[in-house]
């Protein structure tokens, strides 16, 4: 039997040690339950470590007849949260995932599940987009994939430069959607979800 990916008692002990290291008393009222709360939060934040995102895609894929797939599938506005592996601070954002069907499609609910599984681990935004794209390429074999992520990072808004109004946008494209013209068309369609023309 494989151990659970998150060892809650160990996290509790580590959080107590961090509180002591900053000069706090982990047993004082207000902090006495903090180690347990952090352990519970980490179990949720990192629940994707034992999820196979490719299998999520593969198990949802269904074949469809010629002419029934359409030219492009876009799921816009998928909210996600992740934890930056550099400072263990959260980043929150929106994912837009597009693919050009080949001979199969996936259930639309699969897209947010894949995004959540891959975001729920220590992450970098740049890698997250690449991993989402790769999961669809491997699990579905579409003609093309595009992933656009727009996120606000705690390490930018709460420390260092403290740029509370900035966000980071990353792109990952594969196959037909790596072509600059096709990619631009897909990005324009993604933008129409925000009330744009």
Report the sign of the C-alpha dihedral through residues 184, 189, 194, 197, in that order.
positive
153 labelled catalytic: yes
Q: How far apart are CA 11 and CA 19, in angstroms?
A: 12
* Strand residue runs (E) in the chain: 62-63, 73-84, 90-100, 104-105, 122-123, 144-153, 168-175
The single residue of 32, 86, 126, 163 carrying the catalytic annotation is 86
Residues paired with residue 100 on neighbouring β-strands, in sequence order: 144
Structure-block tokens of residue 139: 């699990």
The single residue of 84, 96, 130, 131 carrying the catalytic annotation is 84
96 labelled catalytic: no
The single residue of 24, 40, 87, 185 carrying the catalytic annotation is 87
The single residue of 96, 125, 130, 131 carrying the catalytic annotation is 125
Number of H helices, E strands in the chain: 7, 7
155 labelled catalytic: yes
Residue among 192, 195, 196 nearest 98 (CA):
192
The single residue of 85, 126, 163, 185 carrying the catalytic annotation is 85
The single residue of 12, 123, 130, 153 carrying the catalytic annotation is 153
Is residue 192 classed as helix, strand or coil in its secondary structure? helix
Q: How far apart are CA 29 and CA 5, in angstroms?
A: 30
Whether the Cβ atoms of residue 172 and residue 164 lie closer than 8 Å to each other: no
Catalytic residues: 84-87, 125, 153, 155
């Amino acid at each position: 039997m494989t151990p659970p990916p998150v060892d809650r008692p160990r996290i509790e002990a580590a959080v107590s040690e961090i509180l002591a290291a900053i000069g706090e008393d982990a047993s004082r009222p207000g902090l006495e339950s903090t180690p347990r709360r952090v352990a519970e939060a980490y179990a949720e934040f990192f629940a994707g470590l034992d999820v196979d995102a490719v299998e999520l895609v593969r198990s949802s894929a269904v074949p469809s007849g010629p002419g029934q797939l359409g030219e492009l599938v876009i799921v816009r506005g998928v909210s996600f949260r992740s934890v930056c592996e550099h400072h263990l601070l959260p980043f929150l954002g929106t994912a837009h995932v597009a693919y050009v069907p080949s001979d199969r499609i996936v259930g639309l609910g699969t897209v947010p599940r894949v995004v959540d599984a891959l975001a729920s681990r220590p992450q970098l935004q740049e890698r997250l987009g690449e991993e989402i794209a790769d999961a669809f390429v491997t699990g579905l074999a579409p003609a093309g994939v595009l992933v656009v992520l727009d996120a606000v990072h705690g390490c930018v808004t709460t420390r260092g430069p403290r740029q509370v109004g900035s966000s980071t946008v990353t792109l990952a494209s594969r196959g037909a959607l790596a072509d600059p013209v096709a990619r631009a068309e897909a990005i324009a369609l993604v933008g129409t979800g925000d009330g744009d023309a």
